[in-house]
């Protein structure tokens, strides 16, 4: 029968718990390093100061470096010189000193640091010593002291003066509310306003350089020296402090120190980082480049209100979190490779890796691990069974005891060992090809047989209460192997896989919870139902586990505790029937360096709460009984806004004062950008969630960058809510900011009033315009009617003119014909007279001739013609007389005939002259009218 060695197990559990505690003390994993690629400054940092609002400031070679917990900002001096010292005071004023430069910084309402140089007040001292550098700053009451190696400049009442100390200054430190100065070979002095009083003079301080003065316990002082270690001043005499460490202090060159709120002493050196002691001088931890610092040369130290330590280093910046009750510790083991399994055996910790089997001491106080010879190649599983370490190897299986290794199987690809619950003397093992049965003998575990009639690539195996073997394939499917009572052959092996059973056909594994077979799929858990003889979703357990229902690995711990490993978290649960409780969870982001072994995640339970997690080139020691101080304090704080920037679409920016309440923002600046930080600093970064009421329906997903920009916000009222979330999912208090985007200028109440006024005015104008249009239309219609009447009258007149012209023409033609007839008649009479002579009496001839002459163009006919012509052509003669006063009546008569468009032939009878006479008359008329040769006389008459 197997015996697990109860007494030995109790001892090993005690040793492992002690090892975890030891590592928590001696291996400080809460270290974060910042290099210049992160903070965007020079590599060298000379000092560090922490303000009351949580802001951290560093005296950097390139300027004043500020950090709000999330955002780094380089603030350069006007002359771009180095900053050697920094002092942050409670009222958010930061004093800095450097090479030939001293001054202070204040945060303006928009969150920007603004520098004021005090150089103009110290010109005389710079003239006396053109190479002044200020290495330390102290502030007491309203006095500010800037320390160089030659003197101390005091800034008080808006003026600067020098304190003469009568010797070279080694260091100036502020100890609580006291300002203490070490003068070379002249003891320790205290500055009280303008007075300097020596408080310590001892031969131990002569011939050495004092590097720091810090407060000790019970109003004592610790005084660190360059080459004599550290002294304790009890108010009466000096004595050596921590004698056993003096040689270490001398060898590693002490440089800076401070005391944190817990009373611990943080001692920084130029060679080996920092060492931390408790109030009694007992070492707590040592932090250097081996366990996280970017550099071992400490140039400045400060602690914040939560006990965290900030280090200004020669290369970069270090942060050491104060976590006395840390629930996990990560240990890097370079060279180990990917660790697949661990075991505690014979007071050693064994590591099964992809490179072989390694052994290390339990306390892991160093990085040394040793390869067990003959075990090179992949290790899959380690189990301690009956005082033997069983090793599942890529080339077979081995048993190790008292440093001696023996082969128990040559079957390659040996996975996990499982005891047979119905036959405790038997042990089964899954492999690449077969399932092996081992037996316990007096010589130890021995190979017994293979399970016949079953060959497959099996990774995990579990027994159910009936003795069936449930086996999960390395890649796909589940087998239920029914074996005979002797465990020699399979009598049945139905396979379960595919969409119809698990909704998938890969990455399915088998484990056991409270003696019940459980299958993991990476999505939800399944179980075997004996009543229906089928595999069904394990709904009740899935509901209780939440996200852990998607676990890929389940590992049993003592006393009904189970570890679940899913992609984002590792959780320890207590499961007793239907009572399922999450004890503690560890986000997998804790193990980014080193990483988990993907696809082969594993851990070793040490007791019901503690376990050892396998990593790549490392281990993590988990203790679920410990509550992390960081997780318990996240809810005490809320994110803090660092800047509020308003931007126009054209690129113009305006920063709002941070103390602005309920601002009303112009519509032209409706692109709003917020930048936040979280005041609680530790080694684990937080993420942020935001919710803009008035735009969004719910909280955003977590984001790592706390800068939120909302573009082209429409008019309306908004409330921005922001909260921080730590890696455990704990949420901070919520920051809220209410603001309002004003409507466009054209949509304001005043504009709307103006619109209404304009609209009413427009309506009135439109009405008035309508009335005018109506009047105009009526006027146009009236005018149109008048014009129509005029047109009709004109038409009538034109008809009358045409009639009269026709009548005139007819009468004129009648006159022409009459005259032509009379002329012809006259010619006949004259011809008869000539022919008859005296036979035609003169009496009759003259009478007849006179009568004819009287009727040719008689004056009455002419008068009738002129009257008719005047009626037909109104005022023609008057116009011609006015325009051409030299015209005679015969000229006017010719003009009238021409206006009637009569030819010369037609005019001649009317005038009683020949055609040639008419042409001559026309020629004379053209001259009187001053016409050009190309001008038509008839057209001129018609145009009058």
Query: Model confidence over 101-158: pLDDT tens digits?
Result: 999 999 999 989 999 999 999 999 999 888 899 999 999 999 999 999 999 999 999 9
pLDDT per residue over 263-321, tens digit each?
Answer: 999 999 999 999 999 999 999 999 999 888 999 999 999 998 888 999 999 999 999 98
Partners of 275 in beta bridges: 267, 286
- Chain mean position to CA 496: 48
Across 487-500, average pLDDT: 88
C-alpha to C-alpha distance for 756 and 762, rounded to whole angstroms: 9
What was the pLDDT predicted at 913? 83
| Residue 801: pLDDT over 70 | no
- The one-character DSSP state at 504 is B
CB contact burial 558-569 (16+ within 10 A = b; e otherwise): eeebbbbbbeeb
- 136 vs 211: CA distance, rounded Å: 12
pLDDT at 8 over 90: no
Percent of the chain with pLDDT over 90: 61
pLDDT of residue 889: 82
Q: Is the pLDDT of residue 856 over 90?
A: no
pLDDT of 325 > 80? The answer is: no
Give the DSSP letter of residue 346.
Answer: T
Check residue 550 and report its DSSP letter: G
Instruction: Give the model's confidence band at 29: pLDDT under 50 very low, under 70 low, under 90 confident, else very high.
Output: low
Residues 405 and 424: beta-carbon distance below 8 Å: no
- The predicted model scores a pTM of 0.70
Task: Report the Cα 816 to chain-centroid distance in Å.
Answer: 112
- pLDDT classification of 846: cutoffs 50, 70, 90: confident
Tokens of residue 605, six digits: 């339970």
Q: 202 pLDDT exceeds 80?
A: yes
Contact (Cβ atoms closer than 8 angstroms) between residue 509 and residue 519: yes
What is the signed CA dihedral for 388, 392, 395, 398, rounded to 10 degrees? 10
Residue reference for tokens 């080339």: 395
| 502 burial type by CB count under 10 A (0-12 exposed, 13-18 middle, 19+ buried) | buried
- Bin 662: left if φ > 0, else alpha if -120 < ψ < 50, else beta: left
Q: What is the pLDDT of residue 28?
A: 44
Q: Is 883 exposed, middle or buried (0-12, 13-18, 19+ CB in 10 A)?
A: exposed
Structure tokens at 135: 């290495």
| Domain ranges within the chain, ordered by starting residue | 40-324, 632-742, 748-860, 873-944
The pLDDT, as a whole number, for residue 165 is: 84
Structural tokens at position 252: 């590693």
Task: Give the per-residue pLDDT at 641.
Answer: 93
pLDDT tens digits for range 596-615: 999 999 999 999 999 999 99
Instruction: Tell me: pLDDT of 487 over 50.
Output: yes
Q: Is the pLDDT of residue 6 over 70?
A: no
Average pLDDT over residues 736-755: 81
Residues in the chain: 944
Contact in structure between 410 and 396 (CB atoms under 8 Å): yes
Answer whether 62's CB lies under 8 Å from 322's CB.
Answer: no
Q: Which stretch of 115-119, 123-127, 397-401, 899-903 has the lowest confidence by average pLDDT?
A: 899-903
Task: Give me the chain's average pLDDT, please.
Answer: 88
pLDDT of 92 reads 79
What are the pLDDT digits (tens) for 145-201?
Answer: 999 999 999 999 999 999 988 789 999 999 999 999 999 999 999 999 889 999 999
Least confident of 91-100, 265-274, 845-854: 845-854
40-324 CATH: 2.130.10.10
pLDDT digits (tens, 9 = 90+) for 354-386: 999 999 888 755 678 999 999 999 999 999 999
The pLDDT value recorded for residue 813 is 60
Q: What is the 3-state secondary structure (H, E, C) of 803-868?
A: HHHHHHHHHHHHHHHHHHHHHHHHHHHHHHHHHHHHHCCHHHHHHHHHHHHHHCCCHHHHHHHHHH
| Model confidence pLDDT, tens digit, residues 551-598 | 999 999 999 999 999 999 999 999 999 999 999 999 998 888 778 999
Take residue 637 and report the two structure tokens written for it. 């704080």
The pLDDT of residue 824: 80
Query: Using 50, 70 and 90 to split pLDDT, how confident is the model at 867?
Result: low
**DSSP element (H, E) containing 542:** helix 539-545
pLDDT value of position 872: 60
Q: What is the pLDDT of residue 1?
A: 32
> Residue for token digits 């430190």?
173
Nearest CA-CA partner of 231 in 210, 258, 253: 210
How much is the average pLDDT of 875-904?
83
Average pLDDT over residues 632-659: 89
The CA-based angle 380-383-388, given to 5 degrees, is 125
Range scoring the smallest mean pLDDT among 217-231, 320-334, 436-450:
320-334
Q: How large is the average pLDDT for residues 797-823?
A: 66
pLDDT at residue 9 above 60? no
**What share of the chain has pLDDT > 70, as a percent?**
91
Q: Angle 889-899/876-883 helices, nearest 10 degrees?
A: 120
Q: What does the pLDDT average to over 709-731?
A: 92
- Does CATH number 2.60.40.10 belong to domain 632-742? yes
φ, ψ for residue 431 (rounded to 5)? Answer: -140, -175
Question: Measured in whole angstroms, how far is the alpha carbon of residue 704 from the centre of its chain?
Answer: 9
**At residue 864, does pLDDT exceed 80?**
no
- Mean pLDDT within 414-426: 94
With a cut of 60, say whether residue 15 has pLDDT above it: no
For residue 794, what pLDDT band results from cuts at 50, 70 and 90?
low
Contact in structure between 554 and 511 (CB atoms under 8 Å): yes
Taking the CB of residue 209, how many other CB atoms lie within 10 A of it? 17
- Band (pLDDT 50/70/90 cuts) for residue 880 is confident
Residue 633: CB atoms within 10 A of its CB come to 15
Higher pLDDT, 524 or 92: 524
Selected residue with higher pLDDT from 786 and 416: 416
Asked if the model's pLDDT at residue 14 lies above 60, the reply is no
CB 116 within 8 A of CB 106: yes
pLDDT at 672: 96
Contact 682, 324 (CB under 8 A): no
* pLDDT for residue 26 is more than 50: no
CATH of region 873-944 = 1.10.10.10
Task: Return d(Cα 799, Cα 660) in angstroms, integer.
Answer: 92
Q: What is the pLDDT of residue 350?
A: 96
- CA atoms of 269 and 192, how far apart (whole Å): 30
How far CA 548 is from CA of 122, 215, 244, 281, 384, in Å, comes to: 66, 50, 51, 45, 28
pLDDT of 749-764, one tens digit each? 777 778 788 888 888 8
3-state class (DSSP) for residue 108: coil
pLDDT single digits (tens) 64-77: 999 998 889 999 99
Quick one: CA dihedral 734, 735, 738, 744, positive or negative?
negative
* Cis ω before 16 (30° cut-off from 0): no
pLDDT at 499 over 90: no
* Number of neighbours of residue 578 by Cβ within 10 angstroms: 8
- What is the SS3 assignment for 600-625? CCCEEECCCCEEEEEEECEEEEEECC
Sheet holding 417-419, edge to edge: 417-419, 426-430, 435-441, 444-450
Q: Give pLDDT tens digits for 615-645.
A: 999 999 999 988 765 556 788 889 999 999 9
């Amino acid at each position: 029968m197997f015996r697990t060695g109860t007494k030995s197990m109790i001892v090993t559990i005690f040793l492992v718990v002690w090892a975890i505690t030891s590592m928590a003390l001696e291996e400080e994993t809460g270290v974060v390093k910042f290099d210049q690629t992160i903070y965007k400054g020079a590599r060298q940092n000379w000092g560090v100061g922490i303000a009351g609002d949580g802001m951290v400031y560093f005296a950097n070679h390139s300027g004043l470096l500020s950090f709000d917990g999330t955002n780094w900002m380089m603030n350069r001096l006007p002359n771009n010189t180095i900053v050697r010292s920094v002092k942050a005071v409670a009222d958010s004023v930061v004093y800095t000193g450097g090479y030939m430069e001293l001054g202070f910084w204040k945060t303006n309402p928009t969150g920007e640091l603004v520098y004021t140089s005090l150089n103009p007040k110290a010109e005389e001292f710079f003239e006396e010593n053109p190479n002044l550098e200020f290495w330390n700053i102290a502030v007491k009451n309203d006095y500010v002291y800037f320390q160089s190696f030659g003197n101390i400049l005091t800034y008080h009442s808006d003026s600067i003066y020098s304190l003469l100390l009568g010797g070279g200054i080694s260091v100036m430190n502020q100890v609580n509310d006291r300002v203490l100065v070490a003068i070379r070979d002249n003891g320790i002095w205290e500055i009280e306003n303008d007075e300097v009083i020596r408080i310590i003079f001892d031969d131990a301080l002569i011939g050495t350089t004092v590097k720091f003065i810090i407060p000790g316990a019970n109003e004592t002082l610790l005084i660190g020296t360059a080459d004599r270690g550290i002294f304790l001043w009890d108010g009466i005499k000096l004595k050596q402090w921590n004698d056993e460490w003096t040689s270490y202090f001398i060898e590693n060159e002490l440089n800076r120190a401070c005391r944190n709120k817990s009373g611990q002493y943080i001692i920084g050196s130029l060679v080996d980082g920092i060492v931390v002691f408790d109030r009694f001088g007992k070492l707590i931890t040592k932090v250097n480049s081996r366990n996280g610092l970017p550099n071992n040369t400490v140039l400045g130290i400060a602690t914040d209100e939560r006990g965290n330590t900030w280090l200004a280093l020669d290369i970069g910046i270090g942060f050491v979190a104060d976590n006395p009750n840390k629930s996990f510790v990560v240990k890097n083991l370079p060279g180990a490779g990917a660790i697949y399994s661990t075991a505690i055996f014979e007071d050693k910790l064994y590591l099964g890796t992809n490179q072989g089997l390694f052994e290390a001491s339990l306390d892991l106080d160093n990085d040394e691990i040793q390869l067990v010879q003959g075990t090179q190649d992949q290790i899959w599983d380690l189990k301690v069974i009956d005082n033997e370490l069983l090793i599942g190897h890529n080339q077979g299986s081995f048993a190790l005891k008292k440093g001696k290794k023996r082969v128990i199987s040559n079957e390659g690809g040996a996975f996990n060992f499982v005891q047979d619950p119905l036959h405790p003397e038997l042990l089964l093992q899954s492999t690449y090809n077969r399932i092996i049965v081992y037996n316990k003998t007096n010589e130890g575990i021995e190979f017994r047989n293979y399970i016949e009639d079953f060959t497959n690539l099996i990774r995990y195996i579990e027994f159910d209460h009936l003795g069936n073997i449930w086996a999960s394939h390395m890649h796909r499917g589940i087998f239920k192997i029914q074996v005979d009572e002797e465990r020699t052959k399979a009598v049945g092996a139905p396979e379960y896989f595919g969409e119809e059973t698990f909704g998938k056909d890969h990455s399915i594994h088998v484990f056991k919870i409270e003696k019940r077979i459980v299958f993991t799929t990476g999505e939800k858990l399944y179980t075997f139902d004996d009543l229906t003889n089928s595999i069904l979703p394990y709904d009740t357990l899935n509901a209780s586990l939440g996200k852990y229902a998607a676990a890929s690995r389940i590992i049993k711990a003592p006393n009904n505790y189970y570890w679940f490993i899913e992609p984002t978290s590792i959780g320890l649960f207590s499961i007793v029937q239907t009572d399922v409780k999450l004890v503690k969870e560890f986000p997998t982001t804790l193990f980014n360096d080193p990483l988990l072994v993907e696809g082969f995640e594993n851990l070793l339970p040490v007791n019901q709460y503690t376990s050892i997690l396998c990593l790549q080139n490392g281990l993590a020691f988990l203790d679920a009984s410990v509550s992390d101080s960081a997780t318990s304090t996240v809810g005490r704080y809320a994110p803090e806004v660092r800047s509020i920037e308003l931007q126009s679409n054209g690129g113009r920016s305006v920063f709002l004062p941070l103390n602005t309440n309920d601002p009303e923002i112009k519509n032209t600046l409706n692109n709003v950008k917020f930048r936040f930080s979280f005041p609680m600093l530790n080694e684990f970064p937080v993420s942020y969630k935001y919710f803009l009421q008035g735009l969004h329906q719910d909280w955003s997903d977590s984001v790592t960058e706390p800068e939120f920009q909302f573009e082209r916000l429409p008019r309306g009222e908004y409330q921005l809510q922001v909260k921080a979330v730590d890696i455990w999912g704990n949420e901070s208090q919520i920051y809220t900011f209410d603001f309002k985007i004003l409507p466009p200028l054209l949509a304001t109440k005043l504009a709307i009033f103006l619109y209404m006024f304009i609209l009413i005015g427009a309506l009135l104008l439109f009405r008035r315009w309508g009335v005018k249009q109506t009047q105009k239309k009526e006027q146009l219609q009236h005018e149109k009617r008048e014009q129509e009447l005029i047109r009709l009258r004109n038409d009538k007149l034109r008809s009358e003119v045409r009639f009269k012209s026709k009548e005139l023409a007819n009468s004129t033609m009648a006159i022409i014909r009459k005259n032509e007839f009379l002329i012809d008649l006259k010619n006949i009479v004259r011809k008869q007279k000539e022919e008859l002579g005296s036979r035609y009496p003169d009496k009759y001839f003259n009478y007849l001739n006179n009568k004819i002459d009287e009727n040719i163009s008689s004056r009455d006919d002419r008068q009738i013609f002129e009257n008719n012509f005047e009626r037909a052509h109104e005022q023609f003669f008057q116009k011609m007389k006015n325009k051409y006063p030299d015209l005679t009546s015969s000229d006017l008569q010719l003009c009238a005939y021409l206006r009637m468009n009569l030819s010369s032939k037609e005019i001649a009878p009317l005038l009683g002259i020949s055609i040639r006479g008419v042409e001559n008359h026309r020629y004379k008329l053209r001259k009187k009218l001053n016409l050009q040769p190309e001008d038509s006389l008839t057209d001129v008459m018609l145009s009058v």
